[in-house]
Amino acid sequence: MLIVALGGNSYESEEYFEVGGDKIPSVMKVLGEKRKISEMTTSKSKGVEKMVIVYSVSDNQGDEMEEYAGALVDDFDFIALDEYDFGGKRGSDFEFVKVSDKDDDFIVMVTIDFNNNGYTLTITREEGTIPGGTSDTDDTDDTDDTDDTNDVDDADDANDTNDADDTDDDVNSTPAPSDDPPGDEVEIIVPALLAGGKTVDEVQQNAPSGVTVTGQNSDGSFTFQMSEKRQQELIEETKKKAYDACSDFYDIEGVIMTAWDDKEYKTVSIAANNPFFADSNKNDVNKILLNVARIVPMVQVYMGMGLDAETEIEANNIDKGEMGWIVYAPEIIKELS
């Protein structure tokens, strides 16, 4: 992978960003005014080209991104992959996509994230098709389409109680007697510091719905049992909570950028200036840090990492050009609680 960090100031007046020959409108192009670019990186790996542009904007972040997103759709042929709303304090993963102007086998995607410090555009160009794209063969009016949800041939699936193929979907079906948990049940180990209590009853009371606390282990950890489906739901729910928790650092004076490993959630990095490290901010920083320390490693826990779940959280002092501090979760919970 090739990664190049670029000086942002020279791009603030550009009307288009170019990725792989495709031109994507800049904020300058849409708003007609420059906005400060604090960081810009480009990378290329296995045919995927990416450009990340971080804008530092002190107010009206949502309004400006609402205008930018509207221009992408109305004026530059992009399609919104989901409904978008920039009315809150922050938001993430608003995705807009189009077929490349240079090669029909490629797509260009613009992802928008924003918070009260500014907004980030992530532009990706790669080989592929538009997610959720349709073709003539998917015509829902085609009576010959075997996937048509209204196909009368599928009617027996809803009513045939004797069809063995339907037992996986029948919530009232009774599994065959067994000493083992049902096949779709999983067990995960939750470290004591992340369990939400000191006894099985306390932990069960604080556990998410669909989770059974089956016992406490000799090392103090707890065993959670749930369905595979619930496990996947909890992974995604906790990822969203992790995003919100890490984004709260932007509420502290001096924070320039936060970033985290969104694959395994093993690292969280904060780039900040001197005010962030001031004693006057210490209590607020520690409150957010404690929340991050409790939430981010839980993504790993729900992934099944158990006692190996650990997240490195570091704060870099940009003014001094050195590491401000580094801690490890969940261990830091003992110190902050």
Token pair 């907004």 is at which residue? 119
State the average pLDDT over residues 108-130: 92
178 lies in some domain: no
Long-range contact pairs involving 229-233 (C-beta distance under 8 Å, separation at least 24):
229/184, 231/186, 231/188, 231/302
189 lies in some domain: no
Question: Which of 83, 98, 127 is where one domain is finished?
Answer: 127
Structure tokens belonging to residue 221: 């950890």
207 lies in some domain: no
Taking a C-beta distance cutoff of 8 angstroms, is the pair 175, 311 a contact?
no
**What is the C-alpha separation between 192 and 152, in angstroms, rounded?**
53
329 lies in some domain: yes
Structure tokens belonging to residue 71: 């221009």
User: Which pLDDT belongs to residue 260?
Assistant: 82
Question: Which of 87, 109, 127 is where one domain is finished?
Answer: 127
User: Which pLDDT belongs to residue 131?
Assistant: 79
Taking a C-beta distance cutoff of 8 angstroms, is the pair 102, 22 a contact?
yes
DSSP for 52-111, please give it. Answer: EEEEE-SS-HHHHHHHHHHHHHHHS--EESS-----SS-EEEEEEEEE-SS-TTEEEEEE
User: Which pLDDT belongs to residue 133?
Assistant: 59
Long-range contact pairs involving 60-67 (C-beta distance under 8 Å, separation at least 24):
61/86, 61/114, 61/115, 61/116, 61/117, 61/118, 61/119, 62/86, 62/87, 62/88, 62/89, 62/91, 62/114, 64/27, 64/31, 64/35, 64/119, 65/94, 65/112, 65/114, 65/119, 67/30, 67/31
Taking a C-beta distance cutoff of 8 angstroms, is the pair 329, 337 a contact?
no
CATH code where residue 264 lies: 3.30.70
200 lies in some domain: no
**70-106 confidence digits (pLDDT tens):** 999 999 999 999 888 898 888 888 999 999 999 999 9
Domain count, the chain: 2
**What is the C-alpha separation between 265 and 294, in angstroms, rounded?**
12
Lowest model confidence (mean pLDDT) among 68-72, 103-107, 139-143: 139-143
Instruction: Please say if the pLDDT value at position 199 is more than 50.
Output: yes
User: Which pLDDT belongs to residue 135?
Assistant: 37
179 lies in some domain: no
User: Which pLDDT belongs to residue 337?
Assistant: 86
Question: Which of 127, 145, 165 is where one domain is finished?
Answer: 127
Instruction: Please say if the pLDDT value at position 149 is more than 80.
Output: no
Structure tokens belonging to residue 156: 């027996």
Instruction: Please say if the pLDDT value at position 200 is more than 90.
Output: yes
220 lies in some domain: no
Closest C-alpha to 69, from 43, 93, 100, 48: 93
149 lies in some domain: no
**24-58 confidence digits (pLDDT tens):** 999 999 999 999 988 888 777 777 888 889 899 98
Which residue range forms the structural domain that includes residue 320? 234-336
